[in-house]
Amino acid sequence: MMAHITWILPDGRQIAADVADGVNLMNAAAMANVPGIIGECGGCLSCATCHVYVDEAWQEKTGEADGTEDAMLDATDAPRRDSSRLSCQIVAGPALDGLVLHVPG
Ligand code: FES
């Protein structure tokens, strides 16, 4: 199965991709050439360069950061918000079909 994911860039431009279940959304952003999502550490929770803001309508479904992710979110370049997540920790699946993420400016 695929989940349709949309990234909204700081300038309002949108990039969308169909992402296979089980793929984390940092890797998905890299495959879709989304600028601003770097994923320097490869998804092992040590860089915070995969920071995104989850669209308000989706925050319940993506859930909250906990543990190491929560701590790493204090080290992002762009300001942390309530909607902040590290996208390598969000995994595509049926519940996230239609998800909208905002790329920090
Ligand atoms: Fe490094 Fe997500 S890719 S923390």
* Helix boundaries (H) for the chain: 25-31, 59-62, 67-72
Predicted pLDDT of residue 14: 98
| CB count in 10 Å sphere of residue 6 | 15
pLDDT tens-digit series, residues 30-69 = 999 999 999 999 999 999 999 999 999 999 999 999 999 9
- Total-model pTM: 0.97
Query: Which residues are registered as beta bridge partners of 85?
Result: 52
Measured over the CA atoms of residue 34, residue 101, residue 76 and residue 70, the dihedral's sign is negative
Q: Residue 74 belongs to what domain range? A: 49-105
Residue 17 falls inside a structural domain: no
Q: What is the mean pLDDT of residues 93-104?
A: 98
- Give the pLDDT score at 85: 98
What total of structural domains would you count in the chain?
Answer: 1
Confidence at 95, pLDDT banded by 50, 70, 90: very high
Tell me, yes or no, whether 58 lies in a domain: yes
From 45, 91, 103, give the residue whose CB has the most ligand 1 atoms within 8 Å, as the site to mutate: 45
Locate the ligand 1 atom nearest the alpha carbon of residue 47 and give its number. 1
In a domain, 74, yes or no: yes
